């Protein structure tokens, strides 16, 4: 092992926080960890939520009006987290709202290529609304993402 | 949401790093992240590796001599990481070597209750030798552990 390179600090510079609509305990803790790390290492923080609209009507019988309400709720949730991050002294915070398709694929195929995070922070209970795949997204991202993933509890 | 508590820093105080015998890229990066975080937040770092010996003879046709060699290799690997962490200025580093049973269960049922980590750091490629379960342990721990887990790539 190369002792020199192995002892170099490993610092994340672009942190992607996934949130859902619920202010669950793990969501809140994920947010706290993300802003702590972004603050202390001067990283850029992206805060993302995803509205899966592909099969939304089938699964929840939502009318267009209700879908739009969901969209606005999600946008507001992201904006609220961005605002709190900025109030906490962060200068580089980006709201990211995506729509459509499968949640995992949206993150893997669109959000990651767009935002280029080196770390994804997700709450252990984070579940995107109306996801076709049951369960939380963290462990799945931990398995499939090409970058580091922390599941916060 | 309670804006006061949500903005409090979230800092990990007891970090558990899982390693295997291989100096894979992700193992090295996991080590680097663990020592960075432990250093910068004055956390206690436990470095753990596990020798699954329950079915080792069946799976690898190892003789007692070979099992003992594996045991020594693993102990040396852990000690080497501990030494590097200490050379990097860490004062609170604990070597942890466990044996027996299923790798996930050993971590969940014995290492976590013993060491009481609040964060587990694991490389994306970390595979304990002779594990009965194929694949890497990170995503499984991310799903099952009662504490935060980061899978480092």
Q: For every residue of A24-76, which 3-state class applies, written as one string?
A: CHHHHHHHHHHHHHHHHCCCEEEEEEEECCCCHHHHHCCCHHHHHHHHHHHHH
User: Which CATH number is B124's domain given?
Assistant: 3.40.50.620
Question: How large is the average pLDDT for residues A25-37?
Answer: 93
State the pLDDT at residue A93: 98
Q: What's the gap between Cα A9 and its chain centre?
A: 25
User: According to the model, what pLDDT value does residue B99 have?
Assistant: 87
Residues of B in contact with A142 (CB under 8 A): 138-139, 142-143, 149, 151
Report pLDDT for B43: 98
Nearest to A17 by CA among A40, A44, A51, A42: A44
User: Residue A126's pLDDT is what?
Assistant: 72
Contact A27, A59 (CB under 8 A): no
Give the gyration radius of chain B's Cα atoms: 16
B89 — contact with chain A (CB < 8 Å)? Answer: no
Lowest-confidence segment of A67-71, A99-103, B58-62, B108-112 by average pLDDT: B58-62
- C-alpha to C-alpha distance for A82 and A50, rounded to whole angstroms: 15
B150 touches A at CB < 8 Å? yes
Cβ pair B7:A149 closer than 8 A: no
Residues of A in contact with B140 (CB under 8 A): 139
A145, A147, A151: residue with CB nearest B149: A151
Per the structure, the complete domain to which residue A79 belongs is given by 3-152
Average pLDDT, chain B: 86
Residues B126, B24: contact at Cβ < 8 Å?
yes
Task: Quote the CA–CA distance of B71 and B50 in Å, as a whole number.
Answer: 9
* Cα atoms in the Cβ-side hemisphere of radius 13 Å centred on A113: 6
The separation between CA A23 and the C-alpha centre of its own chain, rounded to angstroms, equals 13
CB-based contact B31 A150, cutoff 8 Å: no
The Cβ of residue B26 has, within 10 Å, a number of other Cβ atoms equal to: 19
Cα–Cα dist A152/A15, whole Å: 14
CA B115 – CA B49 distance, rounded (Å): 13
Residue B71 clears pLDDT 90, i.e. is over it = no
Least confident of B35-39, B51-55, B82-86: B51-55
- Establish if B87 touches chain A: CB-CB under 8 angstroms: yes
Instruction: Lowest mean pLDDT of A138-152, B31-45, B61-75, name the range.
Output: B61-75
Q: Quote the number of domains for chain B.
A: 1
Q: What is the mean pLDDT of residues B58-73?
A: 75
pLDDT for the residue numbered B42: 97
Name the strands in the sheet holding B119-123, side by side, starting at the edge strand that comes first in the sequence: A93-99, A44-51, A14-18, A119-123, A148-152, B148-152, B119-123, B14-18, B44-51, B93-99
Which of A9, A14, A86 is best to mutate for the B interface (most B CBs within 10 A)?
A9
Q: Cβ atoms within 10 A of the Cβ of B36, count?
A: 18
Mean pLDDT of A39-61: 79
């Amino acid at each position: 092992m190369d002792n020199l390179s192995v002892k170099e600090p490993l610092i994340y510079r672009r942190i992607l926080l996934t949130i859902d609509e619920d202010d669950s305990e793990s969501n809140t803790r994920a947010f706290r960890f993300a802003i702590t790390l972004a603050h202390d290492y001067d990283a850029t923080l992206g805060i993302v939520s995803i509205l899966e609209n592909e099969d939304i009507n089938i699964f929840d019988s939502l009318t267009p009006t209700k879908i739009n309400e969901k969209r606005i709720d999600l946008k507001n949730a992201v904006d609220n987290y961005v605002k709190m991050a900025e109030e906490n002294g962060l200068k580089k915070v980006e709201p990211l709202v995506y729509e459509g398709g499968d949640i995992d694929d949206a993150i893997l195929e669109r959000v990651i290529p767009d935002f280029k995070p080196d770390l994804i922070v997700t709450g252990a209970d984070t579940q995107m609304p109306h996801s076709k795949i049951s369960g939380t997204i963290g462990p799945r991202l931990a398995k499939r993402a090409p970058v580091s993933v922390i599941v916060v509890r």
